[in-house]
Amino acid sequence: MRRLGFYAAALGGLVLVFSFALGGDLAVRAAERPTLATISQALTCQCGCGLTVANCNHPTCSFSVPVREQIESMIGKGESGTQIIAFYRQKYGEKILSAPTTEGFNMVAWVMPFLVVVLGGALIVYSARRWRSLPAPGGASAVPSPQAEASPFDAELKDRLAREIRERS
């Protein structure tokens, strides 16, 4: 019954991971209401800083400054966030996106870290339970059990010890 609870918890964790992965796409959020902040956050600056277009820390960046101006112009023309991101994705490829899409093989980038953590935790729990269930070295347990004292063999040894002590004294 305990295993059933463990498997139910693991399955619930995987469902939670998938729901976060599917809801975490910046490009989807940028498509809802096109603003400069949401769209520039969904695009990676190509100047080499490794930041998003919104967060590029170069004041005169040759990439992020013109892209921000172009995004504002596209929003002003009434283009949707999806159209703007698709434009940059077509122009620069997948590398322009600050987060991988949640479709196709890119889903692995969202799911794999969580899956590794869940499987690693399950392996640790399995190993700990198996390790605890192994018998003690030498075949005897480290702490004597109450049943061992109540066995007839122990009573005979106690009687023999008592007799020998009386004989020597």
Q: Which two structure tokens, joined as six digits, stand for 137?
A: 């070295």
8 A C-beta contact, residue 30 and residue 38: yes
A 10 A CB-CB count for 44 gives 22
**Which residue would you say has higher pLDDT here, 155 or 71?**
71
Model confidence pLDDT, tens digit, residues 123-137: 999 999 888 887 767
3 state DSSP class of 55: coil
pLDDT score for 125:
93
β partners of residue 36: none
pTM value is 0.49
8 A C-beta contact, residue 35 and residue 75: yes
Quote the Cα angle for 15-21-23, to 5°: 105
Model confidence pLDDT, tens digit, residues 49-105: 889 998 988 888 999 999 999 999 999 999 999 899 999 999 998 889 888 777 778
pLDDT score for 67:
93
Please determine, for residue 3, whether its predicted confidence score (pLDDT) is greater than 70.
no
Please determine, for residue 160, whether its predicted confidence score (pLDDT) is greater than 50.
yes
pLDDT score for 139:
57
Model confidence pLDDT, tens digit, residues 25-47: 444 454 466 888 899 999 999 99
Query: How far is Cα 44 from Cα 42, in angstroms, rounded to an integer?
Result: 7
